[in-house]
Each structure stands twice: as C-alpha cells, then as structure tokens.
Chain A
C-alpha cells in the first residue's frame, strides 16, 4: 500500500528563520510528487510538481527537492503570509490506474 508521511505535523518559526518540511513516501512506480499549500477554510493551492530524483523547483521563498525516498520543501526567510498547511501528494501506478495519495500535512506558523 502506498504511504506518504509528512513531518513535522506542526512547525512554528520566527519570521526570517529558514527551515524544511519533509515528505517521505513508499510507493511502487512513482509518477510524480506534488506540493500544495492550504489556507484555513480554502481548497489546496498547487505549488510544484517533481518527477525524478534530483529535480528541484523554486517559487519565491519556497524550494522543493526530490530524492528516491523523500521530498523536502525548503522555506527561506519565511514571512507571516507563508503560514498555512503544506500538503504533499504522490502519484503512482497501481492496478492499472494512476493513484494519488496525500500526506496529512505540515501546519506552518510564521510569527512576526
């Protein structure tokens, strides 16, 4: 069974304090790994897609990286507006279908 584990569950940072969120996965036949941001009371917002180990994507203060077993979302000099829950999801081939499995998220709070 495909598994996606995100850590930590919650993270509290001071503004400007860089850190990383982790997404580890156990899947057969990875097709893609996706990062989303979710604000309270809203739907997830797509951030990045990573397809192969060694790939990196950047957007403003965020950088996502991928290895064969995990992905990291690095947040450089975060601001309070970066506070949100960050979800990762993996897409894998299972039973002839492209299955997606989401992690339970890391809730990030950035304090001014």
Chain B
C-alpha cells in the first residue's frame, strides 16, 4: 500500500494567491482529516470527513480556507487568498473503515510558505 499521498510536497507562493493542497487517502479508509502544524501552535485539526461528508469544520481558521472531498479517493484543501500566517506544514490523514478515534495514518505533509 502506498499510504496517504499528498501533493505538492512543498509550495511557495506570494500573499494573495490561491493555494490548493491535494490528498489521496488509503484505499478502503472512509475517514479523512486535514491538519496544520506550526512550531507555535503544534498540530491542529482543521476539518474531517466521514464517507466524503464534512463532519466537523470548526477548526478551519477562516473563510479563506475551504475543503472538499468529491469522492472516496481524493480531497483538496484550498486557501484563497493566502497570507504569510498560513505558512505551515499541512497534513492529511485517513482512518480505516470500522474504527473510531484517532488511529490514523498520516501523509508526508505539504510544507507551505507564503511570502
């Protein structure tokens, strides 16, 4: 199994530009999570989906952030417009069907730098 796949691995963009991060969960996993990790705030849950449906987006910091999961094998996290304070590592994680809690499998992350 290839594990959770994220792209791009690194993204450098200018303030005000739109950024789209992509995630492919592990096949057979029905829950998907988006996280943000910074030195100051640690790892924060942004949003999670069950069976492609957003369940809790209370961690999304602002309306500039949006996430979609059009099918079981693909999700995007979009930031529009981006700001320097959005610079962080963004992780996607998936959880096997039939499990609960936070026994998740994380992707390698996307390091976002907004200048």
Q: Which of B11-19, B60-68, B70-78, B101-109 contacts A (4 or more CB under 8 A)?
A: B101-109
Contact with B along A10-39 (1 / 0, CB 8 A): 000000000000000000000110100000
Q: Does B49 contact A (CB under 8 A)?
A: no
Judging by beta carbons under 8 Å apart, are B108 and A104 in contact?
Answer: no
Compute how far the CA of A56 lies from the CA of B91 in the bound complex, rounded to whole angstroms. Answer: 28
Query: Dominant SS at the A interface?
Result: strand
Q: How large is the interface on B (under 10, 10 to 19, 20 to 34, 35 or more residues)?
A: 10 to 19
B6: shortest Cβ distance to chain A, in Å? 9
Apart from the given pairs A42-B108, A104-B42, 16 other A-B contacts in the complex at a CB distance below 8 Å: A34-B103, A41-B108, A41-B109, A43-B93, A43-B107, A46-B102, A49-B103, A87-B42, A87-B43, A97-B55, A97-B56, A97-B58, A98-B56, A102-B43, A103-B42, A105-B42
